[in-house]
Structure 1
């Protein structure tokens, strides 16, 4: 939903009310693309406004109340883009990040193409069971990122891959999540055979299954491919480049 809203913002035409980012238009686009229900989209916008991630445009039409991401939100998303471009460069030795930093104005063109790609990507839109379980949890993506980031690459081929997580309470505190809600999701994942503990539950190192690890990596690879394709559309290789 965040990508949908940002794309609508960057594609807006301040001189055409029909193309402004408004609550009603956002809800309609989210629903039309089967991203979430209208109620979920409405609740999402209210959260974005409450936490100053989005704001009403000053001096806007009082009847439509156009919205825009705050400056801090654009800054954070710029960090998201640079992190993904840096990752792609590490994979193939490319120079995407340097080229992007030379043309930061291209963000307004790049992000909508990323949003289009994510909406069209089946691996991203229809992830497997455990990934889908976490993605609907507040900060669920960060939960999975934290689990996977604590994995020793040498252990990635194991059926039960140790993570760096031991205490559910500490895990919830680090992520600013409800311990009860996080614990409920972890128990469901445990019932699926996707996570577990090497010793006593909640008091020993947590492991993730190889299947869950592959689910996560599949989605990350698909997302990186979307970012790469969007980058190529914005920054086509010059003559003489391979």
Structure 2
């Protein structure tokens, strides 16, 4: 059974400090198991889903590069490498070759696809040639733009705020008092998460969503529609919603949404209470658990990245 937000965690892994007692540099660290068991985790997932969907609505080009598992890793890694080059005089610039070297052990991608992704990020205003080259300009180095930095700062601060919601910490306040900290945290976080076997192998229930350039955003939309985690006959019901409405919201073709939804329906992960996809949409408890577990892995890596610099 998936627990509602009003219930205590089933399996407390560690004894957390009293709410509000944790300083940003406390010796207490949040693990993925403790995060997943935290009674406030449901609220944080609603909060982070709202934040990411707001980014999608305001800057859909940024959201597109963070929606699939592979694009997420490419975007996060390219930003980390580019910001390191900006802040460390001896750090090399971001080039396709250096990005491929960083990604190859952790994600299956070839140089052609990687160059295509970088080109799209440049077209969308997230990357640009540096004003001055550190090395050989023929390697086509790129760096972050103001749009990318503002978007990543919002991503970092949103996740730090959610960690604060779990343990009463003050990470967000510390990050706003030291504007370089979120980007330093992000560089550590992405190194940690790229090497995390659980993150790099999404569960089968998530895989067909996270293989799509829009699937990650759709997952967050489903989570935001949850009002609680109570089960009825093995289902967790959302509000009524149509495929056409989802397609319109995210500027995706109806056929693409149908393909993603159909695979999930066939696997028993979601469905509608009435024939022909009418009535309330429902999610299986296992599907929700898998999504929350994956998010707990991400939040642990953010926590570890933060603790490396704070």
Asked if Structure 1 and Structure 2 have the same fold, meaning a TM-score greater than 0.5 normalized by the shorter chain, the answer is yes
Distance in structure 2 (CA, Å) of the matches to 1:94 and 1:156: 32
Q: How many residues align?
A: 234
Tell whether 2:138 aligns with 1:63.
yes
Distance in structure 1 (CA, Å) of the matches to 2:81 and 2:148: 15
Once structures 1 and 2 are overlaid, which stretch shifts more, 78-87 or 23-32?
23-32
Q: Is the 8 A contact 1:134 1:140 kept in 2?
A: yes
User: Superposition pairs for residues 1-242 of structure 1, below 5 Å?
Assistant: 1-12=74-85, 19-60=92-133, 61-155=136-230, 159-164=234-239, 166-235=241-310
Displacement of 1:35: 4.8
Tell me which of the two structures has the higher relative contact order, counting C-alpha pairs closer than 8 angstroms and 6 or more residues apart.
Answer: 2
Structure-2 residue corresponding to 1:238: none
Once structures 1 and 2 are overlaid, which stretch shifts more, 55-64 or 194-203?
55-64
Distance in structure 2 (CA, Å) of the matches to 1:192 and 1:52: 38
Moved over 6 A (4+): none
| Alpha-carbon distance change, 155 to 39 in structure 1, aligned in 2, over 3 angstroms | farther
Distance in structure 1 (CA, Å) of the matches to 2:293 and 2:280: 24
Displacement of 1:176: 1.6
Using the size of structure 1 for normalisation, the TM-score is: 0.89
Distance in structure 2 (CA, Å) of the matches to 1:170 and 1:117: 37
Distance in structure 2 (CA, Å) of the matches to 1:57 and 1:90: 38
Q: Is the 8 A contact 1:54 1:70 kept in 2?
A: yes
Displacement of 1:177: 1.6
Runs of 5+ consecutive residues of structure 1 not aligned to the other structure: 236-242
Alignment deviations for residues 51-84 of structure 1 (CA, whole Å, 9 cap, x no partner): 1121122344541221012111110111111111
